[in-house]
Amino acid sequence: MRLRQWLHDLRARHTPTFGALEILKYIGPGLLVTVGFIDPGNWASNVAAGSGFGYKLLWMVTLSTLMLILLQHNVAHLGISTGLCLSEAATKHLRPIVSRALLGSAVLAAISTALAELLGGAIGLQMLFGIPLPVGVVIVLAFVSWMLFTNSYRKLERWIIGFVSLIGLAFLFELHLVHIDWGQAAVGWVTPQVPHGAILIVMSVLGAVVMPHNLFLHSEIIQSRQWNLEDDAVIRKQLKYEFLDTLFSMVVGWAINSAMILVAAGTFYAAKTQVSELGQAEEMLRPLLGPAAAIVFAIALLLAGVASSVTAGMAGGSIFAGVFGEPYNIKDTHTRWGAALTLGGAALIIFFIRDAFKGLLISQMVLSIQLPWTIFAQVALTSSSNVMGQHANSRLTKVTLWIVALVVSALNVMLLVSVVRG
């Protein structure tokens, strides 16, 4: 009797109150996912969009954010309801041949993602200090590895929140220096249009904003906020507050991506100069807005590269550990091997690529091939009552998710074809 009472008291102490300030405790996991939404690959696409087409492609950020909210909330739903990340759920509920193919390709996608992120950080160092790209990659890899392997998840979360905050402040500073036509921007945010020559940029932004590693990562890290998994009422409240975290974080990503396009539109497009590379953007900001703007741009890019490299390593560790039916734990051997394989493999590939731009294209192709399989597996798992029980997707949710999955997959296939042909 005493044991039963002790268990009841223990469970009560681990039941969240969900008061007004309790919401703040849930902010964090979504911001780690947001980092992948504002990674160096997105920077290049946004600068190209703003410099080439002004405010006309801002609607891409709005649409891609809406799709991202749906998919990321759905995969976080899986983590909260089952206590399993996407990798563990695939290992447990899919046939071995299917799960191994899916997770093996997902590890490759994480490596491909880390390649772009490490390159972005190295480009930031090159802008600031003139450091050659290979040396910059080693420096970024060393710092990211130190962060990942010597810090707990909670500490990493605080680091990432700090980085995202600084990136946001950096673009507020840039916007302060630029004249923005807010009327045109407002129209651009809600009016879909594809100007002549913009189709590749549209596909790259809409198709690449949902990234495989972020789906695996979100289902894992959302469990850092779990209490009392067997209490259905608590689970439902957790889902509610998780959605607020996801919504808030994706809106932050929407604002930062929009700011990139606004800055590019207000400077490069206004000066009738199209920019396609990040290094070129930094060089041209200097005469247009002054040295401070160029330095802030480079610092923000460096922070984005470091932060997104950390989350790519975490995702790789989560995926690899899930193959063995284990959760992410940086002190565990499988997690450490997964993170090391992701970051080390990406750095090794970079050393064999002479053209950094081609390397980014190759990484994008790998993501385009793998992403549809991850999305389809996710929707199938979260729609299954065998996996989710009473928390399985409703009919309306299923239809909506399948439509989003098909749209994202079609965009990625189109992007892949255009890259191969081009």
Report the mean per-residue pLDDT for the chain.
86
Residues 378/86, Cβ–Cβ less than 8 Å? yes
Check residue 378 and give its pLDDT. 96
Q: Is the pLDDT of residue 363 over 50?
A: yes
| pLDDT value, residue 95 | 95
Q: pLDDT tens for residues 261-320?
A: 999 999 999 888 888 777 778 877 887 788 898 999 999 999 999 999 999 999 999 999
Which pLDDT band holds residue 358 (cuts at 50, 70, 90)? low
Q: Is residue 93 part of a domain?
A: yes
In a domain, 334, yes or no: yes
Q: What is the pLDDT of residue 196?
A: 85
Cα–Cα distance measured from residue 259 to residue 211, given in angstroms and rounded to the nearest whole number: 21
User: Is the pLDDT at 116 greater than 50, yes or no?
Assistant: yes
Q: How many domains does the chain have?
A: 1
pLDDT at 3 over 70: no
Does 162 score more than 80 pLDDT?
yes
Phi-psi region of 325 (alpha: psi -120 to 50; beta: other; left: phi over 0): left
Q: Is the per-residue pLDDT at 209 higher than 60?
A: yes
Q: What pLDDT, on a 0 to 100 scale, did the predictor assign at position 242? A: 85
Side chain identity, residue 222? I
Q: Looking at the domain assignment, is residue 3 inside a domain?
A: no
pLDDT at 18 over 70: no
25 vs 216, more confident:
216
Residue 26 confidence (pLDDT): 64
- Average pLDDT (11-30) is 55
pLDDT tens readout for residues 218-277: 999 888 765 545 566 667 777 778 888 899 999 999 999 999 999 999 999 988 888 877
**Of 268, 67, 303, residue with least CA distance to 162:** 303
Q: Which two tokens stand for residue 210?
A: 């949902």
**Any domain includes 199:** yes
What does the pLDDT look like over 25-43, one tens digit per residue?
667 688 888 998 888 878 8
- The four Cα atoms 229, 232, 235, 236 give a dihedral, to 10 degrees, of 180
pLDDT above 80: residue 11: no
Average pLDDT over residues 115-142: 94
* Between residues 156 and 28, the one the model is more confident about: 156
Domain limits for position 262:
23-421
Residue 18 domain-assigned (yes or no): no
Sequence-distant (≥ 6) Cβ neighbours of residue 215 within 8 angstroms:
71, 72, 75, 86, 374, 375, 378
> Average pLDDT for residues 149-153, to the nearest whole number?
87
Averaged pLDDT for residues 102-121 = 93
In a domain, 99, yes or no: yes
Residue 15 lies inside a defined structural domain of this protein? no
Question: In terms of DSSP H, where are the helices of 178-198?
Answer: 182-190
- What's the confidence (pLDDT) of residue 230? 59
Q: pTM for this one? A: 0.88
Contact 192/276 with Cβ under 8 angstroms? no
CATH number of the domain encompassing residue 282: 1.20.1740.10
Residue 69, pLDDT score: 93
Q: pLDDT at position 385, please?
A: 94
Percentage of the residues of the chain whose pLDDT score is greater than 70: 87
Q: Please give the share of the chain, as a percent, with pLDDT higher than 90.
A: 56
**Which pLDDT value is given to residue 147?**
95
Q: Residue 1: is its pLDDT beyond 50?
A: no
Among residues 161, 132, 140, the alpha carbon closest in space to that of 24 is found at 161
> What's the confidence (pLDDT) of residue 6?
35
Query: Does residue 10 form part of some domain?
Result: no
